[in-house]
């Protein structure tokens, strides 16, 4: 063992996740997912450049989420089978390659193919997330997850700002080229900085996938949180898909760069993720989820007021965006804190199961939005979003009743997050 290896092993073993490493992992999660959202403020300009209809252009967002969902289902469980650093680095490098495919697209087929493959590989973010949760001390897991979620959500939201600005400077392809270079850099930095980490499930790959799906049958916490996550992200995706059409339409008439700046507004809400994680560490995780569910419902009332244009309408719209993003992130962080405490030895599979449901909800939300927008515009999208939020509140209340009933029957004690024993071999 070299002196450098000994230092790295000492700094990054479970319970000793350094701030520099945590920051790097947070940046990597944000950049990994950013490429899936560059298109949202650029749907009109991409459609015009490639000769696509509005509905076909909207499919770019849906295809990205479908690809991401498949990656969550098929690739993320590998973190319980193979060495996690190698998996994360490989996925980051693959994301860089597939981003260049999208950047080079000359027709709808290449655009959608590159987008789908980028989504598939960008689940590096969801390999890094349970990786960090394993390295962190149990009493700091909420803060750690919250910090990485801040990075991930900033990547999602600021991707819109970056793509709008870069499109103004060099065309819509520029954002994809820039992100490809940054992802290649992340692959190198993660390989140099992260400790090797293996937690073996003792299963072959087909059995690993079957065990991932079986978690839904055996873990009620996962079932409830998967439904809450899917409903929440469906509404989140509906908002950000429809915003591009609203802001570029006759009510506002904004340019791509201005539409992209809305990501900065959403980013204000994303900073709540770290605070939600700290509240979870204090045992308030269910309270965070309940507050988030009701805030989601209220946000759509504000958003509905923002469809007519004008100063007051814009103010209501911006307030609604902030509240919805804050609520969505609070719900997501609380969900992940709960499922990571269920079975520490299966964190990647739990994350795979939950996040597959989460992004399936997002894909459905985006797909429905293109149909609903065509039928009734912004008002109908807000009605759909309010319906999804109302369903979220209902599911949270049902889960609360189920937990109370289980405690009353003596069969439903809350499981505390437990430490997990892992092997952190030194770099060779």
Percent of the chain with pLDDT over 70: 84
3-state secondary structure of 2: coil
Contact present, 65 and 359 (Cβ < 8 Å):
yes
Percent of the chain with pLDDT over 90: 25
Q: What is the mean pLDDT of residues 31-48?
A: 82
- At 237 the pLDDT is 87
Rounded Cα gap, residues 259 and 40, in angstroms: 9
**pLDDT confidence tier of residue 427, bands split at 50, 70 and 90:** very low
- At 57 the pLDDT is 78
Provide φ and ψ at 414, rounded to 5°.
-65, 135
Q: Counting Cβ atoms within 10 Å, is residue 404 exposed (0-12), middle (13-18) or buried (19+)?
A: exposed
- At 274 the pLDDT is 63
Could you tell me where the DSSP H helices lie in 194-271? 205-218, 220-248, 256-260, 262-270
Rg of the chain over all Cα atoms, to the nearest angstrom = 21
How many other β-carbons are positioned within 10 Å of the β-carbon of residue 314? 16
Nearest to 383 by CA among 324, 301, 308: 301
121-134 tens-digit pLDDT: 999 888 888 788 77
Least confident range of 138-142, 223-227, 401-405: 138-142
Task: Kindly state the tokens that stand for 351.
Answer: 């994350």
Contact present, 385 and 238 (Cβ < 8 Å):
yes
DSSP type of residue 17:
-
327-366 tens-digit pLDDT: 888 888 888 888 877 777 777 788 888 988 887 888 789 8
Task: Kindly state the tokens that stand for 95.
Answer: 């994301």
Beta pairing partners, 198: 423
Specify which of 1-15, 42-56, 193-207 reaches the highest per-range mean pLDDT.
Answer: 42-56
- At 22 the pLDDT is 85
Contact present, 270 and 157 (Cβ < 8 Å):
yes
Provide φ and ψ at 367, rounded to 5°.
-65, -45
Long-range contacts of 175-180 (CB under 8 A, 24+ apart): 175/38, 175/42, 176/35, 176/38, 176/99, 176/100, 176/102, 176/103, 177/99, 177/100, 177/103, 179/31, 179/34, 179/35, 179/38, 179/99, 180/96, 180/97, 180/99, 180/100, 180/103
- At 201 the pLDDT is 60
Contact present, 396 and 285 (Cβ < 8 Å):
no
Query: Computed from CA positions of residues 95, 99, 105, 107, in that sequence, does the dihedral angle turn out positive or negative?
Result: positive
- At 428 the pLDDT is 31
254-276 tens-digit pLDDT: 876 677 667 677 666 666 666 66
Q: Counting Cβ atoms within 10 Å, is residue 42 exposed (0-12), middle (13-18) or buried (19+)?
A: buried
Rounded Cα gap, residues 201 and 78, in angstroms: 9
Which of left, alpha, beta for 9 (phi over 0: left; psi -120 to 50: alpha)? alpha
- At 76 the pLDDT is 85
Greater confidence (52 vs 320) lies with 320
DSSP type of residue 132:
H
Specify which of 167-171, 179-183, 409-413 reaches the highest per-range mean pLDDT.
Answer: 179-183
Could you tell me where the DSSP H helices lie in 51-83? 54-74
Long-range contacts of 297-301 (CB under 8 A, 24+ apart): 297/386, 297/389, 297/390, 297/392, 297/393, 298/323, 299/323, 299/324, 299/327, 299/389, 300/235, 300/324, 300/382, 300/385, 300/386, 300/389, 301/386
pLDDT of 288 higher than 70: yes
Task: Kindly state the tokens that stand for 218.
Answer: 């055996």
369-397 tens-digit pLDDT: 888 998 889 999 999 999 999 999 999 99
pLDDT of 178 higher than 80: yes
Task: Kindly state the tokens that stand for 17.
Answer: 């996740």
Is pTM beyond 0.75? Reply is no
Unique residue bearing structure tokens 């997330």:
129
Compute the mean pLDDT over every residue in the chain, rounded to the nearest whole number: 81
Contact present, 423 and 199 (Cβ < 8 Å):
yes
Contact present, 140 and 220 (Cβ < 8 Å):
no
């Amino acid at each position: 063992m070299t002196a450098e290896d000994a230092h790295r092993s000492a700094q990054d073993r479970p319970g000793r996740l350094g701030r520099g490493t945590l920051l790097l992992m947070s940046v990597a999660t944000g950049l990994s997912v950013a490429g899936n959202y560059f298109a949202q403020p650029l749907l009109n300009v991409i459609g015009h450049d490639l000769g696509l209809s509005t509905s076909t252009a909207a499919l770019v967002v849906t295809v990205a989420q479908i690809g991401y969902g498949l990656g969550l289902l098929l690739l993320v469980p590998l973190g319980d089978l193979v060495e996690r650093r190698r998996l994360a680095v490989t996925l980051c490098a693959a994301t860089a390659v597939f981003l260049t495919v999208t950047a080079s697209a000359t027709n709808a087929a290449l655009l959608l193919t590159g987008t789908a493959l980028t989504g598939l590989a960008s689940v590096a973010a969801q390999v890094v997330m349970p990786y960090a949760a394993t390295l962190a001390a149990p009493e700091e897991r909420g803060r750690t997850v919250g910090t990485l979620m801040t990075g991930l959500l900033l990547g999602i939201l600021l991707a819109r700002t970056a793509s709008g600005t870069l499109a103004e400077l060099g065309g819509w392809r520029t954002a994809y080229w820039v992100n490809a270079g940054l992802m290649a850099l992340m692959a190198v930095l993660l390989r140099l900085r992260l400790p090797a980490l293996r937690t073996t499930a003792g299963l072959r790959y087909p059995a690993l996938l079957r065990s991932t799906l079986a978690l839904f049958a055996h873990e009620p916490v996962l079932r409830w949180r998967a439904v809450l996550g899917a409903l929440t992200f469906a509404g989140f995706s509906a908002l950000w898909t429809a915003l591009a059409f609203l802001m570029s339409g006759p009510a506002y008439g904004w340019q791509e760069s201005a539409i992209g700046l809305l990501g900065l507004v959403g980013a204000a809400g994303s900073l709540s993720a770290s605070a939600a994680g700290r509240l979870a560490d204090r045992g308030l995780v269910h309270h965070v989820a309940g507050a988030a569910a009701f805030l989601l419902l209220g946000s759509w009332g504000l958003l509905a007021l923002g469809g007519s244009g004008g100063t007051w309408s814009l103010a209501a719209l911006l307030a609604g965006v902030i509240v919805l993003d804050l609520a969505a992130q609070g719900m997501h962080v609380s969900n992940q804190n709960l499922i990571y405490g269920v079975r520490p030895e299966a964190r990647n599979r739990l994350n795979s199961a939950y996040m597959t449901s989460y992004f399936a909800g997002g894909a459905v939300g985006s797909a429905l939005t293109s149909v609903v927008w065509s039928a009734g515009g912004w008002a109908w999208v807000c009605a759909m979003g309010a319906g999804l939020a109302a369903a979220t509140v209902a599911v949270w209340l049902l889960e609360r009743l189920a937990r109370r009933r289980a405690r009353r029957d003596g069969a439903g004690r809350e499981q505390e997050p437990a430490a997990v024993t892992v092997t952190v071999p030194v770099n060779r």
